[in-house]
Amino acid sequence: MHPDSNTTQVKREIGALTATSIVIANIVGAGIFTTSGIMAGMLPGSGWILLCWIFGGLIAMAGALCYSELATRMPEEGAEYVYLRKLYHPLLGFLTGWTSFFVGFSAPVAASAIGFSEYLFAGLEQQAIEHAATPLAVKKLTAIVIILLFTIVHYLGIRLGSGVQNFLTGIKIVIVLGLASTGLVIGSGYRSNLSFGNNDSFEWLAIGTTMMLVMFAYSGWNASAYIAGEVKQPRRTLPLSLLAGTITVIVIYFAVNLFIFRSLPYAELKGTIAVVEKASVSTFGNWMGRGLSIMIAVALLSSLSAYTILGPRVYFAMARDRLFFPFAAKVHPRYQVPGRSILLQGAIAAVMVFAGTFEQLLIYLGFTLGIFPWLAVAGLFIARKKHVGDDSAVRVPGYPLVPLFFLASTLGLMVIAYMNRPLESSAAVLTVLAGIPCYFLWVRALKAPRS
C-alpha cells in the first residue's frame, strides 16, 4: 500500500500565530513593491493613492469579518469551495477549486518564485563593477529550484512548514516595517508630496483601475479560512488570524507608502515599477540597490511559502468529495499533510515558470480572484437563513452593513475593471466558464455507480 493511501483526515495542529502569519504572508507580496508607482501615473497626487490604500484596507477588513463568520460556521478545509458547495450548488464549489488550481495558487507560486529570482540576481549583479546580465534560463532554473525546495518543506509536515512560515513572515515584517520606519525618520522628507495635486484633468474612472491594483495587493486577507480544518480552536483562531493579519498589513502598507512619498518627488514616481527600491536608493544611497534587492527577494519567499500551504488544501477538499483527482485526497500517514496535492501544485507552478512570465496577469488575477469571495460573502445571508453552523458561528459585527459594504464595493470595482480592461476580464470569465463542462465530466466519471 502506498504511504499516502491510509487516510483522508487531517489533524488540527495550526495555532493562532501560524494562521496569522499565513494571512500576512499571503497578502504582502509583489503588490506593495510595485503598484504605487503605477498608480502615480494615473492619479494627480499622493493623497489619492493613500485614500485608495485606505479604502482597499476597509474592503479587506470587511471581507475578513465576513469570512470569520463563514469559517466558524463551516470550519473545514477549502474556504470558498466549501461555502459555495454547501450554500449554493456543488457546481459553484467546483468552479472555485478549478479556478484556484490554475489561477489562485499555482500562478502566484510561480510569480513569487520568479520575483525572488529577479530580485536576487539584481542584487548579486551589483556586487561587481563589470558584470554580465544573468541569463534568463539561470533565473528560471533558480525559480524552479525554490519552488521544489518549498514543496519538499511543506510535504514534510505542518510543524516544519509552520516554523519556516513563521520565520519568513517575521523577516518580511521586519524588512518592510524597518525600511519604512527608518526611511521616515532619516528620509529627505518631500512633505509637499502628501497632497491631492492638480485635479483639473483628473479622470475619475482612473480610481477604479488603481483600486484593482490595490485589491490585488490586498488579496489573501481570507487566507487562514483555507486551512480551517487544521487550526486549533477554530472559533477563536480563525477570527483572530483573519482580523489581526489584515490589520497588520494595512499598517504596513500605509507606512511603506508614506516612506515612498517622503523619499521622492511625485513626478519621479510616475510609471516606476521598482518604486520601493528607488525610494530606498534616494534615502540611503546607492548601496541600497544591492541590499534592498536581496531583502525583497527574501521577503517574497514568505508569500511563496504561504501559497504552497494553502492551495493544496483546496484540491484536497475537492478530492474528498470526488470532484478532483482521487489521489489528491490522500493524507500522508507520517507527515499528516495532503502530500500529493502539495506535489501536484509544485509541479504545475514549476511548469508555469518554465513556460513564461506573469507581468500581464495582474488584472486577470485580480478580476478572477474577486468573483468567488463575492459569492461567498453573499452566501452569508443564505447561511443565516438556513441556520448553517449557528452553534459554532462568530457573528459579523454590524451585520448586514458590513457584508453589504463589501459586496457593493467589490462589485463596483469589477464592473469598472471590465470596462477599462475588457480583454483580461473576459479571459478571467472564460477561465471560470471553462470549468462548467469539466464539472459534469467529473460528476459522470467519479460519481457513477461502481460495478
Residue pLDDT, tens place only, 15-63: 788 888 888 877 877 677 777 887 887 787 788 888 899 999 999 999 9
Per-residue pLDDT, averaged over 175-187, amounts to 69
pLDDT at 145: 93
- Residue 410 one-letter amino acid: T
* Alpha carbons 79 and 257: distance in angstroms, whole number: 31
Long-range contacts (CB closer than 8 Å, 24 or more residues apart) made by 402-406: 402/62, 402/65, 402/66, 403/62, 403/66, 403/377, 403/378, 405/58, 405/59, 405/62, 406/59, 406/62, 406/63, 406/66, 406/374, 406/377
pLDDT at 3: 42
Between residues 368 and 131, the one the model is more confident about: 368
Neighbours of 159 (CB within 10 A): 14
Q: Which of 3-7, 197-201, 305-309, 402-406 has the largest mean confidence? A: 402-406
Which CATH architecture describes the domain 16-308+358-446?
A: Up-down Bundle (1.20)
State the cell numbers at 180.
519604512
Can you count the helices (H) and strands (E) in the chain?
18, 0
pLDDT at 324: 74
Judge whether residue 147 has pLDDT over 70. Answer: yes
Between residues 225 and 379, the one the model is more confident about: 379
In 3D space, the residue among 239, 241, 240, 244 whose CA is nearest the CA of residue 394 turns out to be: 239
Q: Please, are residues 279 and 260 in contact by the beta-carbon 8 Å criterion?
A: yes
State the cell numbers at 112.
513569487
Per-residue pLDDT, averaged over 3-20, amounts to 65
Sketch the domain layout of the chain as residue ranges.
16-308+358-446
pLDDT at 358: 47
Per-residue pLDDT, averaged over 94-118, amounts to 79
